[in-house]
Structure 1
Amino acid sequence: IWFLVFFFFLKLVRPKWKIPGKFIFYVAISWALTHWLGHWALIFILGHPLLGFIFHIVVCKKHHIDWRTCQPRDKYLALQTKWSKGDF
């Protein structure tokens, strides 16, 4: 699931150096949870990307951005920059 969602939105990740960092972080957290919680870690492994996807759809619709294509792109990138600074 992570690969499918991430592949779909890969072009929107800024800056590009975050791509391997996000992957390593996600795999490390998933491995640690699996080690400590066993099969209960699937809640995180499946739920985290799903919640992110739902959040993406809701925020895009709220700001009148097409959630599939993230168009208009400049509006989406401005929103992403604003969100990354904590200015909701």
Structure 2
Amino acid sequence: MYNTFVQVILDNLSKSTDQIYTYGVPDSLINSVEEGKRVKVNFGRGKNIIDGLIVSVDSACDYPIEKIKPLIAVTDERPIVTKEMIKILFW
């Protein structure tokens, strides 16, 4: 189904969503994904569309593939956060 996956931090103030979420990258967005870019994703059962930030891009995923939602859009042409800044987030 997907050959590329992104890990996303959501733009949400709730502590219950303070974690990294995995999304599948549709073929139409493969050339646009990059760490540090903002994205639009579906979140929750109601399919709310919210903003997020890509913190990593991978070719594999440990999460059950049938539960992976697709990335909706990449909203930046260039990363707004550097890879070094992302590393600091997890330090």
TM-score range relative to shorter protein: under 0.3
Q: TM-score, normalised by structure 2?
A: 0.23
Structure ranking higher in strand proportion: 2
